[in-house]
Structure 1
Amino acid sequence: MADSKAALEDSAKNVEEEVGRVVELAKELQDSASSFMSKSSSDEQTLRHSALSLDSSIRRLCSLLRSLLSHNLIDPKLADKLQEELERARCIMVDGDAASFLPGKTQGGFLRMFLGPINVRASRKDVQLKVKEEYNSYRDRTALLFLLFPSILLILRSWIWDGCLPAFPVQLYQAWLLFLYTGLALRENILRVNGSDIRSWWIYHHYCAMVMALVSLTWEIKGQPDCAQKQRGVQLFLQWAMMQGVAMLLQNRYQRQRLYTRIALGKAKRMDVVWGETAGVDGQLLLLCPILFILQGFEAYVGLLLLRTALNGVVSEWQVFFCGILFVTMAVVNFANTVQTLIVKSRFKAKMKRSKSKQDLRI
């Protein structure tokens, strides 16, 4: 007890000196941190200026090559080679740590509505890639659920519910779709801010799907009598959702390998993502394109059926008419985007074949 008291008395004598020393250390640390941050800020401004200057030079040279090519002032083969080199240089910039010094895309109103004025652009490349991997993982998980959820509903409809779906499980599925499409739209907007190549339409497509899921939650699911006729649109929608799940699984399985190859060749960025009609080899195109076109045609058919159901008075709620218009609109624009992408790919392949044939003739 006496020893403890003596130790406390010694501490009391030294405590003022130790507190003063800690305060001095805190001030020194603050001064060092301020000096470091000031130097880092100066270095960052220098790197940012260099990155912007180099990006401007790449854009200027690309424009110059296009102008020279249009006036036949440069050999087309040389122009293609130089354009490929410039694209490789840009990929090096965008895929490396220098990307954090380039101006990013502005955050849209959708992100501001959900997250407020928060900057979601990652300064480090490894963090950006983690965002992309999480997006891919989310798509993998939801693809399975997209296939299983409607399958279970249709099986239970035949085995337990005597061909007539109850309202609650269908509305539960619509609530899950609202959550799914909101999550996809948020992730895709964040990916775009961080340099991904996601097309605007696919994000707008998810906006439309969100609106449709929200409207469907207020749609009263009719039962008996004439349940089969009243729920024909719901049944076809569930069948379409199953097909969508199959297409998503095929895309996730086959397409990423092609993207990794394009990244290795310097023709794509590591933040880019894959889409259903962007297959890189003929075998994948032969498999996925028919599925996509059937899926889009079936989507339009479901929309037309909902419109007919509403106009004939079988189910006269405005939600049915609204969802029918959305289905038809999304099907038409999806089809147009798919055809446009395939035309671009066919032109690129024809260009590559012509270039290869010229090289063979010279040999």
Structure 2
Amino acid sequence: MSGQLERCEREWHELEGEFQELQETHRIYRQKLEELTSLQTLCSGSINKQKTRLKDLKHTLQRYKHHASQEEAELIQQMSANIKERQNVFFDMEAYLPKKNGLYLNLVLGNVNVTLLSNQAKFAYKDEYEKFKLYLTIILLLGAVACRFVLHYRVTDEVFNFLLVWYYCTLTIRESILISNGSRIKGWWVSHHYVSTFLSGVMLTWPNGLIYQKFRNQFLAFSIFQSCVQFLQYYYQRGCLYRLRALGERNHLDLTVEGFQSWMWRGLTFLLPFLFCGHFWQLYNAVTLFELSSHEECREWQSCTRNFRRTETKGRSCEPRDLCTPSPWGSRLQGVPAGTWLHLISSPQCPWPLQQPPQGPAHHW
């Protein structure tokens, strides 16, 4: 037997021994996985049972509260506070347990378990979500600049608008997965992305004509401005979150900041003029759309639809919101025509200091 063949035989025996160890390791892994599945089922059942009993107890306390003495009322208040805190604990527990997907995820992905089991995996997905929004902002900015100054073709406009539709559809899916993993994203925050997807589709189907061409350049210029402001907001928000995490006032999985502190004024004073400029520009867009919808050459339903939606959301444009919550641009820019009205929502800021950061175990992602 040659020396080379002997070496091959020794290597095969080594591989055989390692394979036996691998099989044993895989057997233990499958055993632990079955144990994990059993523990998940047990925990989910116990949590549901606890939540049902706490709900019944809460209703009983509310009925008894009306004819309770002062001492009993204090006890009821304390128990109600403990029940509320316990519900927050259950919410954090459920973030690590498999759960049924919502209607939207079931329609898009099917009945697939999207729960991430480790903090590291959750943080990685959250970080990838933020990077996705930032990278798409860059692409949309370049696309808007190209369409405005270089590519004066309808087909390039269609590609740009299709990119917006895909962007908002993807955002809704990713945010639904974040919610399934314990994110406290507001419901309206996700809902207005659904509306944004619809309005982007409206812009995508807007046929080329006189009315479209009259509004095209204005919309592209506004899209460029919004993308630039979003960059400023992104870095301002990231700086605020980094400082709050260093102070131990925010969780590492937080996506936005609520409340206001005095040191935040330093960056916000630079950002405020751009935010207000965006509001006034949006108002100008609304007036332009209204005039175009009554133009004698207007035959397209898209301009009327977008102007109606814009007029509806304009009534909420002066409502003050918490600083850095995903609200001001979300509710105010839903109707901005041309499909890029919501570039700023990825890291929204609001100039009205109303509340201090919330306390307790509940956090926003």
Both proteins in one fold, TM over 0.5: yes
Q: CA deviation at 1:42?
A: 5.3
What letter is aligned with 1:282? W
Is 2:204 the counterpart of 1:222? no
What letter is aligned with 1:187? R
Is 2:222 the counterpart of 1:235? no
What letter is aligned with 1:213? S
Distance 1:350 1:126 in 2: 25
Evaluate the alpha carbon distance shift between residue 252 and residue 111 of structure 1 in structure 2; reply closer, same or farther with a 3 A threshold: same
What letter is aligned with 1:250? L
Say whether the 8 Å CA contact 1:142–1:180 is kept in structure 2.
Answer: yes
Q: SS in structure 1 opposite 2:271?
A: helix
Q: SS in structure 2 opposite 1:346?
A: coil
Say whether the 8 Å CA contact 1:150–1:241 is kept in structure 2.
Answer: yes
Residue matched to 2:231: 249
- Aligned residue pairs, count: 299
Distance 1:142 1:119 in 2: 27
Residue matched to 1:348: 355
Identity percentage over the alignment?
22
Distance 1:263 1:339 in 2: 25
Residue matched to 2:338: none
Residue matched to 1:191: 178
Distance 1:147 1:344 in 2: 24
Among 130, 137, 156, which residue is 2:150 paired with?
Answer: 156
Evaluate the alpha carbon distance shift between residue 115 and residue 43 of structure 1 in structure 2; reply closer, same or farther with a 3 A threshold: closer
Evaluate the alpha carbon distance shift between residue 231 and residue 34 of structure 1 in structure 2; reply closer, same or farther with a 3 A threshold: closer
Among 277, 280, 285, which residue is 2:268 paired with?
Answer: 285
Q: SS in structure 1 opposite 2:353?
A: helix
Distance 2:237 2:214 in 1: 34
Q: Which runs of 5+ in 2 are unaligned?
A: 2-18, 324-349, 359-365
TM-score by length of 2: 0.64
Is 2:164 the counterpart of 1:181? no
Q: CA deviation at 1:330?
A: 4.4
Q: SS in structure 2 opposite 1:340?
A: coil
**What value does the CA root-mean-square deviation take over the aligned residues?**
4.7
CA displacement, residues 34-81 of structure 1 (integer Å, 9 cap, x when unaligned): 75455445555676688889999x999xxx9xx9xxx9999xxxx9xx
Among 302, 306, 311, which residue is 2:294 paired with?
Answer: 311
Distance 2:357 2:128 in 1: 36
Say whether the 8 Å CA contact 1:300–1:327 is kept in structure 2.
Answer: no
Evaluate the alpha carbon distance shift between residue 217 and residue 315 of structure 1 in structure 2; reply closer, same or farther with a 3 A threshold: same
Q: SS in structure 2 opposite 1:339?
A: coil
Residue matched to 2:328: none
Evaluate the alpha carbon distance shift between residue 323 and residue 265 of structure 1 in structure 2; reply closer, same or farther with a 3 A threshold: same
Say whether the 8 Å CA contact 1:174–1:214 is kept in structure 2.
Answer: yes
Among 245, 268, 271, which residue is 2:253 paired with?
Answer: 271
Q: Is the radius of gyration larger for structure 1 or structure 2?
A: 1
Q: CA deviation at 1:296?
A: 3.1
Say whether the 8 Å CA contact 2:244–2:250 is kept in structure 1.
Answer: yes
Say whether the 8 Å CA contact 1:303–1:323 is kept in structure 2.
Answer: no
Residue matched to 1:110: 104
CA displacement, residues 61-114 of structure 1 (integer Å, 9 cap, x when unaligned): xxx9xx9xxx9999xxxx9xx99xx79xx79x94xxx6644686x633332222
CA displacement, residues 112-151 of structure 1 (integer Å, 9 cap, x when unaligned): 2221222222122211111111111111112222322222
Which structure 2 residues correspond to residues 45-56 of structure 1 after superposition, within 5 A?
A: none
Residue matched to 1:120: 114
Distance 1:299 1:332 in 2: 13
Among 132, 140, 143, which residue is 1:138 paired with?
Answer: 132
Residue matched to 1:356: none
What letter is aligned with 2:300? E
Distance 1:320 1:127 in 2: 44
Q: SS in structure 1 opposite 2:251?
A: coil
Say whether the 8 Å CA contact 2:322–2:352 is kept in structure 1.
Answer: yes
Evaluate the alpha carbon distance shift between residue 217 and residue 46 of structure 1 in structure 2; reply closer, same or farther with a 3 A threshold: closer
Say whether the 8 Å CA contact 1:150–1:238 is kept in structure 2.
Answer: yes
TM-score by length of 1: 0.64
Distance 2:291 2:26 in 1: 72
Evaluate the alpha carbon distance shift between residue 182 and residue 52 of structure 1 in structure 2; reply closer, same or farther with a 3 A threshold: same
Distance 2:303 2:48 in 1: 51
What letter is aligned with 2:191? Y
Say whether the 8 Å CA contact 1:166–1:221 is kept in structure 2.
Answer: no
Distance 1:55 1:282 in 2: 42
Residue matched to 2:278: 295
Which structure 2 residues correspond to residues 317-328 of structure 1 after superposition, within 5 A?
A: 317-328=300-311
Evaluate the alpha carbon distance shift between residue 180 and residue 254 of structure 1 in structure 2; reply closer, same or farther with a 3 A threshold: same
Q: SS in structure 1 opposite 2:320?
A: helix
Q: SS in structure 2 opposite 1:118?
A: coil
* Larger relative contact order (Cα-Cα within 8 Å, sequence gap ≥ 6): 2
